[in-house]
Amino acid sequence: MATYADTETLRFPRRADWRAGVIGLGAALAVLGMYLAVLGAPTERTMGHAQRIFYVHVPAAWAGFLAFGVVFVASVGYLWTRRRPWDLAAHASTEIGVVFTTLAIISGAVWGRAAWGTWWTWDPRLTTTFMLWFIYVVSLMVRAYGGAGNQTGRFAAVLGIVGFLDIPLIHLSVVWWRSMHPLPVVVRAEGFGSGLHPAMLQALLVNVAAFTLLYVALFGIRRAQMAATDALAARHEALRVRATPGSGGRR
Amino acid sequence: MRAYIPSTGTRVRAIDVAELTKAFGPIHALRGITLTVEAGDALVIFGPNGAGKTTLLKTIATLIRPTTGSVRIFGVDPRTDIRLRARIGMVSHQSYLYPGLTGEENLLFAARLYGVPRPAERAARLLETMGLRARGRDPVRTYSRGMVQRLSIARALVHDPPLLLLDEPYTGLDRQAAAVLTDLLAAMRGTRTIVLTTHSIEQGLALCDRMAILVDGLVAYEAGNGTRDLPAVERIYAECVGAPA
Amino acid sequence: MTALGAVRHLLWKDLLLEWRGREILTAMVVFSMLVAVVFNFAFSPSPDDAARLLPGMLWVTLAFASTLGLSRSFVLEQDHGAIEALRLFPFDPSLIYVAKLAANLLYLLAVEALVLPALAVIAGVSLRVVVGPLALILVLGSVGLVAVGTIFSAMSVHTRIREVLLPVLMFPLAAPVLISAVRAMLGILSGGSLGDVGPGLRILVAFDVIFLVVGYVVFEFILEE
């Protein structure tokens, strides 16, 4: 069974190369994506330039949900195997997921303000993203305030699984709720390929790819950091034990 | 009380711990314990606070999963068979009792969940044996510490387990109560397997067939000859723990 | 001893303890009544508004009241190490989940039986005609609340911020229950039939089934060390 001392710190310098590569590629795509979003894509008919926030909002939301999918898989993996690397993956993905989801909500609010004059609407997709944000935050709270040792990891894993299964139900219930109170302005340009101009779709996809790569890079870095912290804690513990008299074992 | 020494040709060890480690996060509570206990033996485990005595006992009781290594109780891995728990009784430093229920109800609850036949009778008989019959209908919150201890032991015995584990049972007991406990355990020797952890070397030695000293998650000393030489053991203990002689 | 037998004995213990002390039910009922009164101060609903606000007020009250019961229900196992003792018995630890869930469901339903009529009277809304459909929504919603609540109560009792963590954990995840139950009740109170609120009912049933199963499966991971 993997213990804290088994984690990968000593290999960190070699692994840095692939992460740098991913960041580089992601950054390049992001630059291209921003160019297409701001200058390349045509202006939307009803909302004008404000609509361009869409090219940040949708990829950020996508990355947020992708991160949660990874949390789910890592959580299942951790409960199944009880090996620490899965716990680290779940933790890292939770942190990165919060970041992207926060970005998605803020950009969604800004877009709403610019397009419809109000900072917040209970649009189903935005609401579900907001609930996902809450579940992320609560997950981090559990990790911060949880019990000792292995418990926090297991609790967070349970939350990751329960939360993931809950998201579709949350979405369905919000959709039903909003169907009774339709929004004053219905936005149709959000769906993939549902009436999107090809140039818009292209810009969107480039940005989605960029955000995905950024997620992968950030996830990898954060996970390696956590593994290093683990290894450091294990070293501390080993030194403490060696320093204590009488702990040399059987006579 | 039935005798539990197996009369079959193959002797099954009561407890077989091999290379057991347990880590709570970065803290290694147990760092490689290998220990065996034959059926009918009484093992006493000494050790300073933080040595891992409670962790070891709880792992044997199947409450804690090992990180690495194996534990076998009567030849069975607890992770594979949950019914093994019916053969283990545990007395913890927590009472395991519900203060809002009476002594009788606490025993009845435990008896039912262990699947003991005729639970009410069993509960009544145990209360009698422990000298608690008069207070059996009173809520446990009205009991003294000694009475709580006696009821905890009764509860651990309600299903007549061949293996009894006790975690620092002498803590907080006055002289008289401690004597009662020692008598009780002495009467069980040979028929039940007992594992006991304690701070009191004197009381532990009075009971044991074998002793072990646990320090920082490892067995620092082990003896199997039922030694009663208190000063000698105290000297060995001081050496193990690293205190100045 | 069968699984059903184990659950029965566990439930007997919980109900007996509650009957002796009546702490949980008293706290839940008093709290619910107070919240109902506060809501009426806050909104001062006219008779027309009252029917529209009643479902929301009811479910907010129930959501918070349920956390009281759920929290107490595991705290009583924490003292004196009773939860450890339960883990020593030779049965599947998930049965503890079933028993705790059943006990808390009974407490919640008992509270609802008192609070709903009281709220209706205070708000001046007549419920006689629609008691059946409302009861169905109440039961489905309560099962959902308690199904997730029991999971997180077992978790939060081990943490440093026990009572605070439980609602924080529960409410985002119980959102589908709260949204669907409130909307379904609104539909019924404004003259609709059960068929009209079908989608909401389906969501409630799906939620209940999914989280009863998930709770049963993950519970032993919460209890183990």
Contacts of C5 in chain B (CB under 8 A): 112
Interface test with C, best of A101, A134, A139, A158 (most C CBs within 10 A): A158
Chains near C with 3+ CB pairs less than 8 A apart are: A, B
- The nearest CA of chain C is from the CA of B117 a distance in Å of 10
Please give chain C's pLDDT, 225 residues, in tens.
788 999 999 999 999 999 998 889 999 999 999 998 888 888 887 877 888 888 999 999 999 999 999 999 999 998 899 999 999 999 999 999 999 999 999 999 999 999 888 888 877 777 778 888 999 999 999 999 999 999 999 998 888 777 788 999 999 999 999 999 999 999 998 888 888 888 899 999 999 999 999 999 999 999 988
pTM listed for this prediction:
0.89
Contacts of B128 (CB under 8 A, 6+ apart): none
Q: Do B98 and C92 touch (CB under 8 A)?
A: no
Between positions 39 and 78 of B, the ones with CB within 8 A of A are 65, 67-68
State which residues of chain A have pLDDT below 50.
1, 8-10, 184-194, 246-251
Residue of C nearest to B83 (CA): C90
Judge whether B24 is closer than 8 Å to chain A, CB to CB.
yes
pLDDT digits (tens, 9 = 90+) for B85-131: 999 999 998 999 999 999 999 999 999 999 999 999 999 999 998 88
Q: B218 CB near a chain A CB, below 8 Å?
A: yes
Window 98-157 of C, Cβ < 8 Å to A: 148, 151, 155
- pLDDT reported for residue A184: 46
More confident residue, B206 or C181: C181
**Residues A46/A49/A50/A51 CA torsion (nearest 10 deg):** 60
Chain-chain contact of C176 with A172 (C-beta, under 8 angstroms): yes
- Spell out which residues of chain B touch residue A245, defining contact as CB-CB under 8 Å: 241-242
The phi and psi torsions of A180 (rounded to 5 degrees) equal -80, -20
Q: What residues of chain B lie within 8 A of the CB of A3, using their CB?
A: 23, 67
pLDDT digits (tens, 9 = 90+) for A70-116: 999 999 999 999 889 999 999 999 999 999 999 999 998 888 888 77
Chain C residue with Cα closest to A140: C169
Counting one residue from B and one from C, how many pairs have CB atoms under 8 Å apart? 72
Chain A residues with CB inside 8 Å of C172's CB?
Answer: 131, 134-135, 138, 163
Contact A3 B23 (CB under 8 A): yes
Å between A7 CA and nearest CA of chain B? 12
Measured between CB atoms, which of A138, A145, A147 is closest to C172?
A: A138
DSSP code, position B192: B
Is any Cβ of chain A less than 8 angstroms from the Cβ of C184?
no
Query: Are B63 and C88 in contact (CB < 8 Å)?
Result: yes
pLDDT surpassing 80 at residue B166:
yes
Q: Shortest Cα distance from B149 to chain C (angstroms)? A: 12
Closest CB from A1, A149, A246 relative to B68: A1
Contact check, Cβ <8 Å, B67/A233: no
pLDDT at A200: 80
**All residues at 6 or more sequence positions from A98 whose CB lies less than 8 Å from its CB, including other chains:** A133, A136, A137, A140
Q: CA of C83: which chain B residue's CA is closest?
A: B96
For residue A127, give the chain C residue with the closest CA.
Answer: C175
Q: DSSP character for B13?
A: P
Q: How far apart are CA B95 and CA B173, in angstroms?
A: 13
Q: Which residues pair with B72 in a beta bridge?
A: B16
Would you call A163 an interface residue with chain C, using a CB distance cutoff of 8 Å? Answer: yes
